[in-house]
Structure 1
Amino acid sequence: MEILLGAVLPAVLTIVIAYLLGSISFSIIFTKLFSHEDIREMGSGNAGTTNVLRSVGAKAAACTFIFDFAKGVLAVFIGKLIFQYFAAAYPLAGVPAWEFVQYGAYLAGALCVLGHDFPAFFGFKGGKGVLTSWSIILLIDWRTFLFVIIVFILMVLFTRMVSAGSISAGIAFPISTFLFNYLVDCVWKGSVSVTYCMISVIAAALLGGLLVWQHRGNIERLRNGTEKKLSVKKH
């Protein structure tokens, strides 16, 4: 009963809420509002901000950017609140409350990204989860966010390809999580447990791996030299 109330119930609640929230595809919604078309039938066919920018324009892309980022923030915030409540009401022996709440953040983030990539409200065909992943990383650990965003910006400036930056950021996520959570927090400071380090690195590897996998078509085009560079549709 302790495990059911303390761990399983908050996990189930977080999974359902975060996935449904992630399933609200704002690129599809704003493209419908601005152009009355389906973004998945335009440009690259991806329901993401970059394709909206190329195919619809800056206004629709800006709205998509803001709302996709915000839903990741909201999902993690809700996940933390749920796990925080259950940590106080039904504490698990041997699990520090702060670490338990962070598990809620990772779980909410992962399910929000899955919802974004495979939205229940739009035929399970969504985007690649870049912006939503950014917001999740920011709320989980600002140090990792800075590391990942710097990698992204440098790669985009160097290649002028958002896909190259996104792929590099996906690879950088688990690497930076290991550097900060294990080497800094666990080994140097001794402020977190080895268990938390392992779980956080595995979660980051899964999220980063999903981001890279969602760009498998871009990877093939990068290898062939046919990947498009960043552009904006002008009206």
Structure 2
Amino acid sequence: MDFLLNINVQFYILSYLIGGIPFGLLIAKLFTGKDIRESGSGSIGATNVLRVLKETNPALAKKLAITTVVLDALKGVVLLIIAKLIGLSIETLWAIAIFSVIGHCYSPYLKFEGGKGVATGAGVLLVMLPIETLIAFITWFIVGKVLKISSLSSLLALCALILSSFIIHPDIDGIKTHAPIFIIAFVIVYKHIPNIVRLFQGKESKVI
């Protein structure tokens, strides 16, 4: 058990446990008494918070959805900032980013179910690759405004981030590989498979 005394391992465990906190579920339950897993897409993310709660209280639903996005993004951001301040290596920072996203998508508090990883992924990537994440955000915003399909805007934003990362950072500083980005992207895309199927079937719901 000596490995648990290693500060890197401690941060990996913390990032997974904090990443797994289901803020969307907790916030919706606290303010409305609803379990958002039982309605809409069944996800614990901001989109489903908005989709489910707007039926009864649109104004509150929007506020809670925004709060969910912010808290889900901060789950990885806070730990990464602390890890940076104490001088942990770039390799460790990328691992913290990955574990935060995995924790959100496969929460230990929800029998290893969870959200789609978009907000948490955006948070950690904003710290690690700020310019690429800004490009992704612009893509997400434009596609979301035009098509009003949350999953499609998220997936296209992810594509924009990956493509721009190869242009802006052909060799990722300190690690010389895009592997961590692809791991995060794989987890997010995998969690979106039901959405992708519905997109091809023309059955994916719009967020209005």
TM over 0.5: yes
TM-score, normalization by structure 1: 0.78
AA of the residue aligned to 2:131:
R
Which of 16, 19, 29 pairs up with 1:19?
A: 16
The offset of 1:105, in angstroms, is 2.1
Is 2:166 the partner of 1:223?
no
1:71-110 aligned at under 5 Å gives the runs 71-81=75-85, 84=87, 100=89, 102-110=90-98
- 2:203 and 2:115 mapped to 1: Cα distance? 20
Alignment of 1:1-235 (within 5 A): 9-56=6-53, 57-81=61-85, 84=87, 100=89, 102-182=90-170, 192=173, 196-198=175-177, 201-231=178-208
Aligned residue in 2 for 1:89: none
The size of the alignment, in residue pairs, is 199
CA distance in 1, matches of 2:176, 2:135: 18
Once the two structures are aligned, what percentage of the paired residues are identical?
31
Shift of 1:62: 2.3
Runs of 4 or more consecutive aligned structure 1 residues displaced over 4 Å after TM superposition: none
SS of 2:176 mapped into structure 1: helix
Code of the residue aligned with 1:37 in structure 2: it is: K
Q: CA deviation at 1:59?
A: 2.5
- Computed over aligned residues only, the root mean square deviation of the Cα atoms, in angstroms, reads 2.1
Structure 2 residues not aligned, in runs of 5+: 54-60
What is the TM-score normalised by the length of structure 2? 0.87
Bigger radius of gyration: 1
Greater share of residues in helix? 1
Deviation at residue 118 of structure 1 after TM alignment: 0.9
Q: Which runs of 5+ in 1 are unaligned?
A: 86-99
Alpha-carbon distance in 1 for matches of 2:157, 2:108:
26
Question: Counterpart of 1:97?
Answer: none
Equivalent in the alignment of 1:93? none
